[in-house]
Amino acid sequence: MSTPAVQTGRPPSVKMLINGQFVESKSREWHDVVNPATQEVLAQVPFATPEEVEAAVAAAKTAYKTWRNTPIAARARVMLKLQALVREHMSRIAETLSAEQGKTLADAEGDVFRGLEVVEHACSVGSLQLGEFAENVAGGVDTYSLRQPIGVCVGISPFNFPAMIPLWMFPMAVVCGNTFVLKPSEQDPLTPMLLAELAQAAGLPPGVLNIVHGGKQSVEALCSHPDVAAVSFVGSTAVGTHVHDLASRHGKRVQCMMGAKNHAVVMPDASKEQTLNALVGATFGAAGQRCMAISVAVLVGEARAWIPDLVAKARTLKVNAGCEKGADLGPLISKTARQRVLGLIEDGVREGARLELDGRDLKVGGYEKGNFVGPTIFSGVTPSMKIYTQEIFGPVMCIMSAASLDEAIALVNRNPFGNGTGIFTQSGAAARRFQNEIDVGQVGSNVPIPVPVPYFSFTGSRGSKLGDLGPYGKQVVQFYTQTKTVTARWFEDGATTAGVNTTISLK
């Protein structure tokens, strides 16, 4: 695998992938890729020029003419090779991811593995892309449906999962016969570029996968390009709403997975130690930078006495650079992200929430310049506070209370987001009632982060999602294909009919 080429007078540059070639950008705008624990500049990423974005889409459009007719088995074999290569290079990918994003090595490997599961599912495209057939729907007439690719597809991926989300996107798109242009986050583009090298080594033909870098200008150019058929986005609500509106106005299929405020409802009969571990891990893992993180714990009835136990458990977590052995969570992605989280913590104090655990003044020896915030816990949080109404995207737990399960369900359902939620209880009846009445797309019973395995679909809902189909599983095959229905009748040579039929029925 290659490394970024060095340009005189500046750090290594991140290349683009266009038509099967890793090329240097001619851009005049470059941004630093920074290690969030040390502030070391790892590389510089270009913001692609309009001509480079155009070249990537043109390459994908040309490649689509032949790739769409590539046999399904041949496409599946590329995915088989890709999953083998990702496994082989797992450690290197995780180390790169940890350095540029800040995750612990264990969490970085988890990031890669959850994406790898989708690649493995893509290997079964032979059954996923099957159509339907009905014989003799009328006399001598058969009807069947085909699932065909739709063309050039675009993926816009976020900083918090630089391996998993790209692997959710391009493998399923290309295995269905489409071609793809990926625009990864400019904050951690090195990991997606390693995945692109592996995809090329696995046998993807030139132009089937392309990567360009950049910010708003690149995103808008891709969303409005006349040769793009579909756009998949994962990221913030503000950007996702803009992407959805722009791409929809230009006639694209769009799916946008956006912000969240995920609640965990804790019943008094829950298994205490298991629940405490689950809540602390799901809240503070990856420094809280997960769209599926548990950011609100709703303690019901006597479970409200568990606050000191949650605080004690959170105090045991070790905050350090992701590369350091034993670290439970690393730094936030950037100085800007850290300042935003600190500002929201200050808002919580000012609005009257009780600060049970304060992570603002955390110092990590040897990494004094790092973007660290320690585990932080508020109790007494109310629905009007900014720490509740806004997605903090940092290691902050908001504790709320409810007198009953009914009250807890009503609280969760009033929140505009619907990405994920969970209930912790030993009562099957309570869990079943919760899953039936809760208005959230993904529900866990004693599972804090209920992200489904890839042969199901990711089903966030309400304010967390725009578009009706999820980013993997059977739903994404529908997203990346169009159904063509054929009704056919064949006649023997010399056959005659009874005459002209002016009705719409077939007999």
Cα–Cα distance measured from residue 170 to residue 162, given in angstroms and rounded to the nearest whole number: 13
Q: Using pLDDT thresholds of 50, 70 and 90, give the confidence band for residue 506.
A: low
List the structure tokens of 411. Answer: 């609280």
User: Does residue 331 sit in helix, strand or coil?
Assistant: coil
Judged against a pLDDT cut of 70, whether residue 505 lies above it is answered with no
For 203-264, where are the alpha helices, taking DSSP H only?
216-224, 237-249
Q: What's the alpha-carbon Rg for the chain, to the nearest Å?
A: 25
Are the C-beta atoms of residues 182 and 60 closer than 8 Å to each other? Answer: no
Cα–Cα distance measured from residue 352 to residue 341, given in angstroms and rounded to the nearest whole number: 17
Please report the beta strands in 348-496, taking only residues with DSSP state E, as ranges in sequence order: 354-357, 376-379, 396-402, 417-418, 421-424, 443-445, 461-462, 465-466, 481-489
Mean pLDDT of 176-201: 98
Q: Tokens 């994908």 appear where?
A: 60
Are the C-beta atoms of residues 102 and 109 closer than 8 Å to each other? Answer: no
What is the predicted pLDDT for the residue at 7? Answer: 42
Burial group, residue 100, by CB count within 10 angstroms (0-12, 13-18, 19+): buried
Q: Tokens 């969760």 appear where?
A: 412
For 285-404, where are the alpha helices, taking DSSP H only?
307-315, 335-350, 386-389
List the structure tokens of 316. Answer: 């045991």
- pLDDT per position as a tens digit, 19-72: 999 999 999 999 999 999 999 999 999 999 999 999 999 999 999 999 999 999
Mean pLDDT of 471-499: 88
Judged against a pLDDT cut of 70, whether residue 218 lies above it is answered with yes
Round to the nearest angstrom and report the end-to-end CA distance of the chain: 62
Q: What angle do CA 145, 151, 153 make, to 5 degrees?
A: 120
Q: How many CB atoms lie within 10 A of CB 335?
A: 15
List the structure tokens of 29. Answer: 């705008």
Judged against a pLDDT cut of 80, whether residue 260 lies above it is answered with yes
* Amino acid letter, 40: E
* Interstrand relation of 41-46 and 461-462 (parallel, antiparallel or unpaired): unpaired
Cα–Cα distance measured from residue 59 to residue 23, given in angstroms and rounded to the nearest whole number: 13
- Range name among 173-187, 390-404, 484-498 with the lowest pLDDT average: 484-498
Residues 6+ apart with CB under 8 A from 162: 97, 100, 101, 111, 184, 185, 188, 189, 190, 191, 192
Are the C-beta atoms of residues 147 and 129 closer than 8 Å to each other? Answer: yes
- pLDDT per position as a tens digit, 69-121: 999 999 999 999 999 999 999 999 999 999 999 999 999 999 999 999 999 99
φ/ψ (deg, to 5) at 80: -60, -40
* Amino acid letter, 490: W
What is the predicted pLDDT for the residue at 50? Answer: 97
Q: Using pLDDT thresholds of 50, 70 and 90, give the confidence band for residue 125.
A: very high
Judged against a pLDDT cut of 80, whether residue 496 lies above it is answered with no
Mean pLDDT of 450-476: 93
Q: Is 291 a catalytic residue?
A: yes
Q: Which of 315, 329, 260 lies closest to 293, judged by CA?
A: 260
Are the C-beta atoms of residues 180 and 60 closer than 8 Å to each other? Answer: yes
Cα–Cα distance measured from residue 244 to residue 258, given in angstroms and rounded to the nearest whole number: 11
Q: How many CB atoms lie within 10 A of CB 18?
A: 24
Burial group, residue 119, by CB count within 10 angstroms (0-12, 13-18, 19+): buried
**Residue from 153, 176, 223, 291 carrying the catalytic annotation:** 291
Mean pLDDT of 188-202: 98
